[in-house]
Amino acid sequence: MNKLLISLLVSIGITGVAHAAGDATAGQGKTAVCTACHSADGNSVVGNFPKLAGQGEKYLLKQMLEIKSGVRSVPEMTGLLDNLNEQDLADIAAFFASKNVQLGQAAADQVEAGQKIWRAGVADKGVAACTACHGPNGKGIDSAAYPSLSGQHAQYVESTLKKFASGDRNNDPANMMRDIASKMSEAEMKAVSQYVQGLH
């Protein structure tokens, strides 16, 4: 399973679609629409809104383009990106990618179970290790538009896993996250979500 994921990662990285290059300085002046939920530096203070700080530029741009086009449904963002063009979105992505994520702390009783899933997956269920796509330290693989999870809010990660499992979120390449999340129990989702919140 891991060999399959790695070869898919390589092929996506090689064949990725080129987008406009972002300008972080220009992006700072375009983030007013983002700050209410994600904070001025991209470190949201509310657990259900993702931290954007330190996130991969390519990943952020992909998500914003898909939210704007309707490929990814995020009701809270309906209409917010309508007046921004691709260059604007690329600049915003570059700005948040340039910021440092503020790490959280994992719940002590979830670290051992979460770390095991992160590093080894759940073999008897066919759940691949999270490190295959998100890296050992959770920094992601931006060339393949795979997100950084290091320091991300546990509440947001757990909610996202549940959305992938149910199919409510379906913008993952080759159904990868839907396949993985659908095999996980809620306890496993909670443990790995807590683990990444403190991962660095």
In three-state form (DSSP H/G/I as H, E/B as E, the rest C), the secondary structure along 132-164 is HHHCCCCCCEHHHCECCCCCCCHHHHHHHHHHH
C-alpha 172/C-alpha 154 separation (Å) is 19
Residue 11 confidence (pLDDT): 39
Q: Which residues are annotated as a binding site?
A: 34, 37-38, 77, 130, 133-134, 177
Of 161, 171, 147, the residue nearest 194 (C-alpha): 161
C-alpha 131/C-alpha 6 separation (Å) is 11
Q: Which residues are annotated as a binding site for heme c?
A: 34, 37-38, 77, 130, 133-134, 177
Q: What is the model's pTM? A: 0.89
Burial pattern 71-99, b for ≥16 Cβ within 10 A else e, equals: ebeeeebeebbeebeebbbbbbbbbbbbb
Domain with residues 103-197, CATH architecture: Orthogonal Bundle (1.10)
- The matching CATH number, chosen from 1.10.760.10, 3.90.600.10, 3.90.1150.10, 1.20.1530.20, for 9-97 is 1.10.760.10
Please check the confidence at residue 190 and state whether its pLDDT lies above 60: yes
Residue 18 confidence (pLDDT): 53
Q: 9-97 and 103-197 share one CATH topology?
A: yes
Cβ distance 177 to 132 under 8 Å?
A: no
Residue 164 CA from chain centroid, whole number: 12
Tens of pLDDT, residues 14-54: 334 456 799 999 999 999 999 999 999 999 999 999 999 99
